[in-house]
Amino acid sequence: MSEANTDLEKVVVHSPGLIEEWREIFLLEESLRLQVHILLFKAKIPALWAVILGGTGTGKSTIFNALCGKPLSETGIERPKTSGPILYAHTRFDLATEIPFTGIETAAIPASHENPKPTPGLSGRLLVLEHDREDLSHILLADTPDLDSVEKVNRQVAEDLYHLSDAVIFVASQEKYADEVPHLFLRRILEDQRLCYLILNKAEESSTKEDVLSTLQGARGSLSHDHVWLFPFMPNQPSQALVHHPMFRDFQALFLKELSKAQMPSLRNKALSRRKRTVQEKLERLLGLTGKERGAAQAWVQDLRRMEQESAENFLREQREAFSLKGRDALKREIRRLFSKYDVLAGPRRIVRETLLAPLRLVGILEKQDEGKRKEELRKVRQKMDLLPIQAAVEKFNRRVLEKLSPQDKDSPLFKALREQGAALTAEEIRDLVWKAQDQLEDWLEKRFDILSRNLPRTKRWGIHTTSILWGILIVSFEIAVGGGFTLIDAVVDSVLAPFVTKGTVELFAYHEIQKVTRELGERYQKEMLSVMEAQRERHERRLQTLLMPEEAREALEELGRQAAQASEE
């Protein structure tokens, strides 16, 4: 079991809930895990499991004692008498460490223990009563708690032991055989094609096998006439009296014949083959559903990325329109007015700087710059940054994700994951992302200024060729970008500088270099803004990935399938 347990530990099934059958994935995983445990366990135990099942007060323990030939399980008129499962097993089986159900502990009473008193069993524990009888050395006979017990643990134990069964002795009574819970369980036994013996205990004289079989009409699977037994009511010491009853002797003879040592290989091989098929079918279904959901997840990611692209385009368009609405016509008029007054020889530094700054002040993008250290000027620009547009864009993106990409089922894991705390970027997280990118942008801008200033013609140190004017142009460009004009920055700056080129006050080299810097500045700033949207999209993708079954889990499931296919008697 250790090898199988190791592989099962790797199987952590997840599901984001993108397909309609997502709930079935978890049910299949639980069922498959159990079925593999049972299959590997039964393949190692060369025995046939005969499990006695039934409702409250039907006389299960009476039948158990009669088959064992001893009063091992406590009986009586009080209900229920069996508090926990009791297993009559040969001493050659070590079941304490092998039982495949984690919720059941085992306790054993050795065969050497003389004349044990009848026991009601131990709730939640499997009590193994050992024997050294050769005639039952290949049969593990189990008395179980009631199928309709008020205690959940007892119902679960009965369910667990049913999973181990090769044959079922189903005990009903005259007043209980049509009760819903036991009746539905009996139908399930027949549908599972278990070898079944149906005993109607404490039957009235007028009762017939046909009456009992008529209640099972319509059930998938069938129960033959010779596997139905009617035992009369025996008021005094029923276990002892039943042993001598001809009808019980006939039942016992058929039971021991059909579960004989000679029949055991055939019965076990059929049972193991049936369980192998069950495991394989469940495994294929589980892998099929998880594969379907992985495909749905890939489509979901594609839709998410398309939505991110659309949201980014909308954001850029809104920024372009907003910048235009701030006064593009007024900006043009101011530029023309200033250019008409421009005198190349009258204070070129002042005119160039004022020409750059005035139209931008007109639309509220920047205030007049104080000369000082470059770092301080860059920091001042940052403080004027308006983060509300990108915050609004991310919020709008998240709203679309919830409207268009969220599963409709409110119980699905992805529905909850998209709405839990931390799913959406906060305003503080957006600010930190932007400022981190801003640090890199500022460093880049300073480096480009250093390169440009070193390459200014040494013969001309006035006008735009002065380092202060050059830095002023870059600062103005930076403020245009921060002010929301990053999509138009090259056009705005070029519209200011172009007249100076035509007047010959600037060399083409400086002009083109400034063009390239401002264009790249706009592209970098745009990328910086859109990286926030990208970070939000990646966060959604990561949440989806954590809900998908890892590839190693799929590999572990496939290995379990191979182990199940190879399971055999050892």
Do 276 and 567 touch, CB atoms closer than 8 A?
Answer: yes
DSSP H helices, 363-405, are 374-383, 388-404
Cis bond leading into 550, ω under 30°?
no
> Which range (355-364, 399-408, 537-546) has the least confidence?
355-364
Q: Helix (H, G, I), strand (E, B), or coil: what is residue 344?
A: coil
Asked whether residue 522 carries a pLDDT value surpassing 80, the answer given is: no
Tokens of 192: 């599972």
In tens, the pLDDT along 241-297 reads: 788 889 999 999 999 999 999 999 999 988 888 888 888 888 889 989 999 999 999
What DSSP assignment string belongs to 201-254? EEE-TT--HHHHHHTTTT-SS---GGGEEEEE---SSHHHHHHT-HHHHHHHHH
User: How many angstroms separate the CA atoms of 74 and 68, rounded?
Assistant: 13
pLDDT given for residue 435 in this prediction: 85
- Mean pLDDT highest for which of 95-109, 115-129, 390-404, 501-515? 390-404
* Of 335 and 87, the one with more pLDDT: 87
Neighbours of 526 (CB within 10 A): 18
Neighbours of 405 (CB within 10 A): 17
pLDDT given for residue 57 in this prediction: 84
Percentage of the chain modeled with pLDDT above 90:
29
Read off the pLDDT band of 56 (50, 70, 90). confident
Q: Helix (H, G, I), strand (E, B), or coil: what is residue 153?
A: helix
Asked whether residue 566 carries a pLDDT value surpassing 80, the answer given is: no
Q: Helix (H, G, I), strand (E, B), or coil: what is residue 136?
A: coil
If you ran DSSP here, which 8-state letter would residue 115 be given? S
Which residues make Cβ contacts (< 8 Å) with residue 326, sequence separation at least 6?
363, 364, 365, 484
Q: Helix (H, G, I), strand (E, B), or coil: what is residue 380?
A: helix
In tens, the pLDDT along 538-553 reads: 999 999 999 998 888 8
> Which range (337-341, 425-429, 510-514) has the least confidence?
337-341
Tokens of 436: 């981190």
What crossing angle do the helices spanning 22-44 and 152-164 adopt, rounded to 10°?
A: 60
Do 37 and 282 touch, CB atoms closer than 8 A?
Answer: no
DSSP H helices, 387-466, are 388-404, 413-417, 427-454
Tokens of 193: 């094609």
* Of 210 and 120, the one with more pLDDT: 210
Kindly list the distances between the CA atom of residue 235 and the CA atoms of 50, 73, 80, 201, 313, in Å, as whole numbers in the listed order.
Answer: 26, 17, 17, 12, 87
* Of 411 and 489, the one with more pLDDT: 411
Of 359, 370, 320, 374, the closest CA to residue 494 belongs to 359
Q: Token pair 């014949």 is at which residue?
A: 257
User: Which one-letter amino acid corresponds to residue 513?
Assistant: E
Beta bridge partners of residue 372, listed in sequence order = none
Report, as an integer, the average pLDDT of 80-104: 76
> Which range (56-70, 328-342, 544-558) has the least confidence?
328-342
If you ran DSSP here, which 8-state letter would residue 457 be given? -
